Amino acid sequence: MIMKIVKKKDLDRLKRLPNGIEGVAKTLETDIKSGIPDDKKKIGRQRARFGSNTYKKPPSEGLFLAIWRSLQAFAILNDLVNILAAFILLLAASIFGNFLRPSLKSKVRNSSENQIEVLRGNKRKKISMYEIVVGDVVCLKIGDKFPADGLLVEGNNLQVEEDDQGGETVQVDPDENPFLFSGSIVVNSDYSECKMMVTTVGMKAKWCEMISQQNCYSSENSTMEDPVRKLTLPIRLKVGLPIAFLVYLIRYFTGNTKDINGDQEFNHGHLRNFWDSSMLDIVGTAFTIVAVTIADSLRLSVPVTSFYSKKRMLGDLEMASELSGCENMAFFTTI
């Protein structure tokens, strides 16, 4: 019941509870001022009763599966060197992104930035955010992220930035709006620090909804590469192919191409030997440029840019739920 009250910001229902927030603390077997007792058995009971502040990680993708997924994006390639080079570069970028991304996330999760300060047994103690249990009183300063869902028990004029509000600042008050959610950031406060009582941890917390969305989006067939494929097809057929043929035909019929003996292949309107001329090389080169250079250069840039952006965001403990939104952001002029 307490979890539902916090998630729905049900202030009326919270006030109807006996003694309000203090009554919630009594139900959760904790104390607003001193926190839960620093006792392993007590902490174990809290963890067994309310769950741990962890979530189920999706199984990591193996190396061979990453290679297979990357191979599925290609058609059958011929033996030209430039096509093979483009294939290897794109394959390496895709494998690097798909196979190493989970390890990068784990590295961020286990970093020292995940250490937070809690009150246990009326003493301050630094623990990992993944060791938090329901009933813990967490001490937070300006710029800190809330590690779980809970209620504000100390702090006036607290301003937090919530993810579900589009990054807007929300005013939090112990009497009017004491609800705090994991992932939110402390923006401003009258006190040097604020204190929250944890009510929801792990998969039941609001932050895990974002994790679930991330997994759902990753399982969809539509990716950022799909619009690129749709874009490259008309470029190849309507722009690249005519220009390539036009340039090489102009060079050929103006006498700028020569055979192996150094003689002009097209002279005074006559072609010396079509099958031994460079005309076939011109046609092959034109198709190579259109089929490979335009398409694979764009398809190579997308996974490389995507992987770099994800790595930068993971450094700030952020996660992109739908990278295709970057395509829409390119059309905005004012935010």
Question: What pLDDT score does 56 carry?
Answer: 74
Which residue ranges make up each domain of the chain? Answer: 2-57+109-201, 221-319
Question: Which parts of the chain have pLDDT scores under 50?
Answer: 74-79, 108, 111-112, 217-222, 275-276
pTM value is 0.49
Residues 161-215 have pLDDT tens digits of 876 555 567 888 878 888 888 878 888 877 778 889 999 888 777 766 666 655 5
Of the candidates 55, 316, 324, 327, the one whose C-alpha atom is nearest the C-alpha of residue 210 is: 55
pLDDT score of 169: 79
What pLDDT does residue 171 have? Answer: 85
* DSSP character at residue 134: T
Report the chain's terminal Cα–Cα distance, integer Å.
38
Instruction: State how far the Cα of 182 lies from the Cα of 206, in Å rounded to an integer.
Output: 6
Kindly report, residue by residue over 274-314, the tens digit of the pLDDT: 544 555 566 666 666 655 555 555 555 666 666 667 667 65
Nearest CA-CA partner of 119 in 175, 217, 21, 37? 37
- The owner of tokens 């992932």 is 183
* Nearest alpha-carbon partner for 147 in 134, 164, 165, 166: 134
* Spatial contact of 158 and 152, defined as CB atoms under 8 Å apart: yes
Architecture of domain 2-57+109-201: Distorted Sandwich (2.70)
**Cβ-contact 313, 319 below 8 angstroms:** yes
Residues with Cβ within 8 Å of residue 45, at least 6 apart in sequence: none
Q: What integer pLDDT is reported at residue 220 of this predicted model?
A: 44
> Residue 299: its pLDDT value, please?
58
Beta bridge partners, 185, equal: 145, 161
Determine contact, residues 126/115, Cβ cutoff 8 Å: yes
Give the pLDDT of residue 112.
44
Q: How far is it, in rounded angstroms, from Cα 136 to Cα 42?
A: 11
What is the residue whose two structure tokens read 């112990």? 174
